[in-house]
Structure 1
């Protein structure tokens, strides 16, 4: 008598859902990064992919249990559904972790009273506690450097270009006027953020303030803007230090030789 061994339908569906979820997340992420779909469409696709990944993960567990007791085939498809579904849950898990670690910095600045003006981004209406932001990002404070405003602006602009930011507008400062630069930054997942920095003259040199805002209103940016401008300020500190060392450090003059004077006749004998 031949025993019929069947392939578990749970295992098959676990694999199907996992493959669909992975394809949906990867394709939508790529399209969003290259600007082919809007942020809203990407977020909906990411949510659907996450739900399908969770279902694949749970159905994969159910398939394991059924295969253990029935002896049916399907361990391979069940494993694909289980592990690939778990991978599809990673973005959601990372987002939850970052939202617990960082406060929202959807619109964050180092100048709370008079922040730099935005060109394309709309000010975020959600309330952001400045003390909480400063506790998570202690380097988000106004910088004052002993440099001419034009030099500081040039260093900041070159750093923005080195970061791959798209310059939207640029108005250099003078010794008596303020200058500002606005740039567009793309995050790793393709979300657009506007970065603005303002350089103003100061009695001891120049000061710089920054502002970062999500181009489209979001409830929580997972601290992305805060990390971006904090990294910018730290890199600017290094560039300013290097500039001062290379261009403004005064060399120590060599010791000048002692001038020789001619001795009158008879003085040489006395000196000896």
Structure 2
């Protein structure tokens, strides 16, 4: 008598859903990074991919149980569905962790009363308490440096270029007027954000304020803007410190020796 060994349909469907989820997440991420699809389409694709990955993981677990009792074939496709589905659930887990750890910084600034003006991004009223943002990003405060405004603006502009941000507009300051720079920053996943910094003259040197806002309306940016401008300010601190050290380390010129003919008669040495 020939025993018919079948392949579990649950295992097959677990693998199909896991492969579909992985392909959807990877392709949509690449297309969004290169600007081929809009942010809302990318977010919908991620939701569909995450739901498919969760279904693949659960069906894979169910296939394991069925295969254990029936002895059917399908351990390999069930394992693909289980492990690949779990891997595709990783981004969703990271998003949940970041949303719990960081407040939304979809529109964040160091100057709450009069933030720098935006050129392309729309103001985002996230309703987040500024004290909550400051607790997570303690370096997001107005900086005061004892250097001229023009030099501070130049240091900030060079740092923007070093970060690879696209400069939208730049108006250098003077000794009596403020200057501002607006730039476009792309996150690792392709989301676009506008960064603006304003340099103002100060009696002891100059002040700088920053603002970062998402171009597309988002409910929660997972603290991305906050981390970006906090890192910018810390890097600017280092550049300003280096600038001050280099300018204070300039050698003092030595005084030329006084010729003997210019010495007073009493100061000339006695002739032997």
What's the counterpart of residue 89 of structure 1? 89
What's the counterpart of residue 162 of structure 2? 162
Give the Å deviation of 1:3.
1.2
Q: Matches of 2:41 and 2:249 in 1, distance apart?
A: 54
Q: Matches of 1:258 and 1:168 in 2, distance apart?
A: 58
What's the counterpart of residue 74 of structure 1? 74
What's the counterpart of residue 44 of structure 1? 44
Q: Residue 263 in 1 paired to residue 264 in 2? A: no
Q: Matches of 2:9 and 2:161 in 1, distance apart?
A: 54
Q: Residue 208 in 1 paired to residue 214 in 2? A: no
Tell me the secondary structure at the aligned position of residue 127 of structure 1: coil
What's the counterpart of residue 132 of structure 1? 132
Q: Deviation digits for residues 116-142 of structure 1, max 9, x if unmatched?
A: 000000000221211000000000000
Tell me the secondary structure at the aligned position of residue 220 of structure 2: coil
Q: Deviation digits for residues 89-117 of structure 1, max 9, x if unmatched?
A: 11111000001100010100000100000
Q: TM-score, normalised by structure 2?
A: 0.93
Unaligned residue ranges in structure 2 (runs of 5+): 261-266
What's the counterpart of residue 119 of structure 2? 119
Q: Residue 145 in 1 paired to residue 141 in 2? A: no
Give the Å deviation of 1:57.
0.4
What's the counterpart of residue 174 of structure 1? 174
* 1:170-249 correspondence to structure 2 within 5 Å: 170-249=170-249
Unaligned residue ranges in structure 1 (runs of 5+): 267-272
Q: Matches of 2:220 and 2:60 in 1, distance apart?
A: 32
Give the Å deviation of 1:251.
3.0
Tell me the secondary structure at the aligned position of residue 170 of structure 1: strand
Q: Matches of 2:65 and 2:112 in 1, distance apart?
A: 57
Taking a change above 3 Å as real, the CA distance of residues 255 and 4 of structure 1, as seen in their structure-2 partners, is farther
Tell me the secondary structure at the aligned position of residue 98 of structure 1: helix
Q: Matches of 1:246 and 1:238 in 2, distance apart?
A: 12
4+ residue runs of structure 1 moved beyond 6 angstroms?
A: 253-260
Give the Å deviation of 1:258.
11
Q: Matches of 1:82 and 1:102 in 2, distance apart?
A: 30
Q: TM-score, normalised by structure 1?
A: 0.93
